Each structure stands twice: as C-alpha cells, then as structure tokens.
Structure 1
Amino acid sequence: MKEKLIIITGPTAVGKTSISISLAKRMNGEIISADSMQIYKYMDIGTAKVTETEMEGVPHHLVDFVKPDQQFTVADYKDNATKIIQYLNKEGKLPIVTGGTGLYINSLVYELNFVDVPPNQELRDELESFAVEYGNSALLDKLRGIDPIAAGKYTENDIQRIVRAIEITTLSGKTYDEYGSNFRVPNERYDLLMYCLTMDRQKLYERINKRVDVMLQLGLVREVEMLMDMGYGKDLVSMKAIGYKEVMEYLEGNENYEDTVEKIKKLSRNYAKRQLTWFRRDKRINWIDVEEYESKDDIVEYLVNDINKHIY
C-alpha cells in the first residue's frame, strides 16, 4: 500500500503555516517543514519560523535543528523527510509537508538523480570566493560557459543554486539537466495530493512588504547582530538568506537602513515570483486562490473534503 502524503506549498507570506496547522488538527496530521531556512537554529525572525504558540500543539518536523554553520543538503532533507513520512504513516498520522522550497519538495515527489552528487566544500569555497572577488554576475557567466540552459534559470542573486549547478557539472561531467534527466519522473511511492496557495500578485506583494516591516519591528537587526556575535559570518549558506545578508551589509556600514529595507522587500517579492514559476511546472498541483474563500476555515474545509475524497 502506498504511503499517504500531502503537500501544502505556495509563495512566501501567502499563509501556508496557518492553513497547514488547521488542516493537521482536523486530519490527525503532523507537519514536515519544506523550508530551507527554517531548518537553522537561532534564525527565527528573518525566516518567519513557526512559534510554539502558533503550532497549537501540532508536532513540527525538520524545523530549528541545524546550526547555521552546519551543512545540510537536499539529499539530507530527502533522507530525513522520507523516514518521517514512513513513520507517520505507520502511526496512522497524516504527513503534511509544508513550505516553499521547491527543491525540497521535488526531492520527495520526483526521482531526483542529482541529489546523489555529493557536495564538495573545497570547490564551493573556491566558487564563493570567486563571486566575492569578481561579483555574482561573473559567477553566473562561469556557469553560462559550461551550462547555458541552467544559467538561464537563475539570476545573479541565486548564488547557492549557481554554485550547486557548477558543482554538479564539474563533478559529474554532465550538465545540470543531463544529470537530473529524471527530474520530472514522479516518485510512485506515495498516495500524493499537492496544493499550492496563491493570491492576487499585487496583494501578495503588499503582504510581503508588511511581513518585512513586522520582522524589523520584532528585532531582525538584533537577531543578525546576535548571529554575528556568535561567529556566524557572511560566507555561510545560512547567512546568505534574504534579510540576513542585507542586514549584515547594513551593520557593516555598506548600506543605509532605508535602502536595506527596500532591498529586502524587493528580493522577497522576486523570490515569491520565482516560487510561483517553479510550482507551475507541476501539473499535479491543485491551485487554491485563497481570495476565493471567505475565511481560512473554508479553505481548510475544502482541503479536508478533497483529501477524504481522494486518499481515504
């Protein structure tokens, strides 16, 4: 018998956390995070990490368990999440994977070959140093020279992904697409339902802008100061997250406060746009426009009925 699996995804600030928690309470479920930044300890405000109060007693997995200087790959995520999904199914619980990191979600719902290419820290350090010395655009040009198709998927701000694409091509001798030729082969292990929350683009952007303001009010600058005092520097993958990198630049005197705030908002909006583009590729996803429902409870009611109809 196939294992049950529910995916709740969508762009940043659309309301995934609240809806997934309400759904879990209705369906005897537990939540597995699919957020590549909420895995890190001490990074709470800038990642909009779910709080103990917000959890409402619903167990959350793969949140707040890796130190900012620890390596955690997509392969690590797949391994951890797969074991949790298996365990929850055996216990009669419904696993609800919630988050907006597309690669994490794809590692579960597709047969991804490229996660088997192990990370090479020496090469990563070399590439990141190259970007610091010559600029992000120069690093993107380097990828463009060996894999123009992969390069066309990224902007110069996608340092992590650019480095990984160069790493895969360098270590495997194949392009990113060639090595990940099974990128769109579905994983048949699961009785799967996928939902992507969405809303009017302009309203989403307004929510994102407001979320950034709230993060700053809650103490994002103090949080970054604390991380810097703990010895976590800008060279770390974790500290390149939107919000953290920009605040660090501000604290180092390289940017003024107002420009920093606007930059965080702009990068967050751009990220949301890329998330939506990513998930549109998967035709199995059921799209839910949250504005078409009068309340969160109505959305949850729809999800409960749809899940019961298709996998119970």
Structure 2
Amino acid sequence: MTNNKPPLIALVGPTAVGKTATSLAIARAFGCEIISGDSMQVYRGMDIGTAKLPLAQREGVPHHLIDIRDPAEPFSAADFQTACEEAIRDIHGRGRIPFIVGGTGLYVESVCYGFRFQPSGGDPAFREAMQALAERDGPEALHRKLAAVDPASAAKLHPNDMRRVIRALEIRETTGLPASEQLGEARGDRKESPYNLALIGLHMERARLYERIEERVDAMLAQGLAEEVRGLLEAGLPSSAVSMQALGYKEMAAYIEGRATYAEAADTLKRDTRRFAKRQLSWFRHMQDLIWVDADPEAKNSELLQTIYAIIAGKFGLSLEYIRTQEINGDGGYR
C-alpha cells in the first residue's frame, strides 16, 4: 500500500445497476470481505424485497451486516456507522481489505468520511406535532419548515419523505444544530477520509436502468415478495414499522391490507423504485472522490472489471499482475 491510512474500497450506485455481481469479482481480485451498505439488508426475514444475496451465491466471499436485526428493531445511520467501523477493524486485523457495497448513500458516506452523529435524545411529542401539521397542511408545509432551519437537509429530502423530514426537524429542535452539520457537512469544507479510500460508482443510461428496475421488480414479485410481506405482517410486525417502509414492503402491505389492488401495488413499486434510483444518483453526485464507471449492460463485463481493477490498483499501488494472481488463487490480502 502506498498510503499509511488503512485501505477501504466502496462501491455505490443506484438500485439494479449491477453492484452485487461486480462486487463479487472485485472481492476475489483484491482479497476483500464485503460489508453491506444497504439500510434494509440488516433485517432478518426481509430477503426478496432487499435483493439479499443468498449465502450459496456469495462464492465464499464473507459478507457482513446482513441479518443482524429483527424487523421490529430500529437501526439508524449512526448504528450502521458503529457496526461498520467495528467490521472494518476486524477485517483489517485479518490482513484483508474491507469493501462496502450498497446504495444507501448516507450510510456509506458516514463511514467513508467519519461523520460524527450527535446524540439527540428524541422528542415523541414534537414528532406527533409535526405529523399533525403534515396531515393538516400537507407534507409541503413540513418541508418548507425544514428548508427554513436546515436548507441543506431539505435539499436532499423529498417532501413526501415525511419520516426523514420529521427526523431532521426533530434533530434541529432537540440539539439546536441542523442535521446536515451534524453529519460533518459543513458548507464548503472538504471532508477528509480516515481511510486510503477507493470510492467507485456504477452508472448506466437512464432508460436502460429503468428497464432493469422493471425486470427486477417483476422478478421479486415472481419470487414471492407479497408472500414474504404477508408473513411479516402475520408474525405481528405492523405496517407502520420503520422496516416496513422499505421499497417493496410498504407497497405490498398496502395490497395485503386492502388499500390497493395487486396491480396497483406493483405499478406503485416500479414507480417508487425509479424515483428512489433518481434520489440515489442525486446523493452520489455530491460525494467527493467518487470515480464513475459506466456499467453499460451491452459492454463486455471483463472491460468493466478491468477499468475498476485499474482504479483500485492505482489507488493502492498494486500491480495488475498481483490482481491476476489473486483472481486465480483467491487468497488476496494486503500484508
């Protein structure tokens, strides 16, 4: 390694862009252990809707922060950061390279740049008051209120994302500081990573990405997404739980509870997933140090991988011959 900071690789990109398959090849080439950077893969029993890679398909690559919480348990960005940093230390201790893979921008960025979350305590009465305001005047009124006290957070949140808008307002109310500043996002300041960081983003032409999203949703429905959600509800998990607000789960819950037809729920899921992908891309575009790589599905996969290998090898001062050796032996590391 050419940098005295500990190494870290991170791969981000919108849903359905191909992160999972690409990450396995990278992990084998560089002797990595993968850390899921997905906010919902932490939950047990939520497999289909989170596109969780089955154990048998992980090709012997260790994966971390998957299936570590019950769906009724809360799990925040601060919780992720704590658990991820512990996993990174453990992986480094084994002489291997930690590799965060996922699409939850705040989670990944909080680790890559050491955001420091301030304890806020929480204020249930304030949350209830904000919920009542939204019900009376509409979510736009709540979003305008956030824009007045924390414009940076408001710019990143859709008015209809009331849970996160209310949370940002609650942080401002209970700490006196904007949530955006607590995430280490001081205006104009360049964030310094505590790691020798290779940060890579996958993208592709928008129309093709949307086609892949449609295909993914159809595959999830065929695999039994509705039945998975029904099982969670029948086990006592309320549809209002934070975990049930995940894509696929809230839409299928609406169908199961009679608030939408199956066709309506499927169409809503496809629409919401497209919108989610747009928000992901918007977040990633503001991440410093991110190197974009075109994941055009029509191109040769070997070309995509060689591009990424060259980026990582250059960052870590490794030769491509080293990479070829690890691909053959599968026993990479950085000692």
With the length of structure 1 as denominator, give the TM-score of the two structures.
0.91
Residue pair 2:13, 2:203 contacting (<8 A) in 1 also: yes
Greater mean deviation of Cα atoms: 120-129 or 242-251? 120-129
Residue pair 1:111, 1:185 contacting (<8 A) in 2 also: no
Indicate the residue corresponding to 1:103 in structure 2. Answer: 106
Deviations 1:196-231 (A, max 9, x none): 000000000010011111110000100110000111
Indicate the residue corresponding to 1:305 in structure 2. Answer: 310
Please, which of 21, 45, 58 is the counterpart of residue 48 of structure 2? 45
Deviation at 1:253, TM superposition (A): 1.1
Indicate the residue corresponding to 1:250 in structure 2. Answer: 255
What amino acid does structure 2 have at the position aligned with 1:277? S
Indicate the residue corresponding to 1:71 in structure 2. Answer: 74
Aligned counterparts, 1:195-234, within 5 A = 195-234=200-239
Indicate the residue corresponding to 2:94 in structure 1. Answer: 91
What amino acid does structure 1 have at the position aligned with 2:208? K
Q: Secondary structure at the match of 2:296?
A: helix
Indicate the residue corresponding to 1:2 in structure 2. Answer: 5
Residue pair 1:69, 1:232 contacting (<8 A) in 2 also: yes
Structure 1 residues 132, 68: CA separation in 2 closer, same or farther (over 3 Å shift)? farther
Structure 1 residues 283, 179: CA separation in 2 closer, same or farther (over 3 Å shift)? closer
Residue pair 1:117, 1:171 contacting (<8 A) in 2 also: no
Indicate the residue corresponding to 2:175 in structure 1. Answer: 172
Unpaired runs of 5+ residues, structure 1, are: none
Task: Measure, in 2, the Cα distance between the counterparts of 1:310 and 1:145.
Answer: 41
**Percent pairwise identity:** 38
Structure 1 residues 30, 289: CA separation in 2 closer, same or farther (over 3 Å shift)? same
Structure 1 residues 304, 151: CA separation in 2 closer, same or farther (over 3 Å shift)? closer
Give the length in aligned residue pairs.
311
Indicate the residue corresponding to 2:281 in structure 1. Answer: 276
Output the aligned Cα RMSD: 2.3
Deviation at 1:129, TM superposition (A): 5.2
Deviations 1:15-56 (A, max 9, x none): 001100111112111100100011111111111111112211
Residue pair 1:108, 1:187 contacting (<8 A) in 2 also: no
Task: Measure, in 2, the Cα distance between the counterparts of 1:128 and 1:61.
Answer: 36
Residue pair 1:112, 1:180 contacting (<8 A) in 2 also: yes
After the TM superposition, which segments of 4 or more aligned residues of structure 1 sit over 6 Å from their partners?
none
Greater mean deviation of Cα atoms: 232-241 or 170-179? 170-179
Indicate the residue corresponding to 1:260 in structure 2. Answer: 265
Greater mean deviation of Cα atoms: 120-129 or 249-258? 120-129
Residue pair 2:134, 2:141 contacting (<8 A) in 1 also: no
Deviations 1:229-271 (A, max 9, x none): 1111122111011111111111111111212111111110011
Deviation at 1:116, TM superposition (A): 1.9
Residue pair 1:127, 1:139 contacting (<8 A) in 2 also: no
What amino acid does structure 2 have at the position aligned with 1:15? G
Deviation at 1:192, TM superposition (A): 0.5
Deviation at 1:123, TM superposition (A): 5.0
Task: Measure, in 2, the Cα distance between the counterparts of 1:130 and 1:108.
Answer: 34
Deviations 1:96-120 (A, max 9, x none): 100010000111122423x223452
Deviation at 1:91, TM superposition (A): 1.4
Q: Secondary structure at the match of 1:254?
A: coil
Q: Secondary structure at the match of 1:116?
A: coil
Greater mean deviation of Cα atoms: 68-77 or 220-229? 68-77
Task: Measure, in 2, the Cα distance between the counterparts of 1:189 and 1:208.
Answer: 34
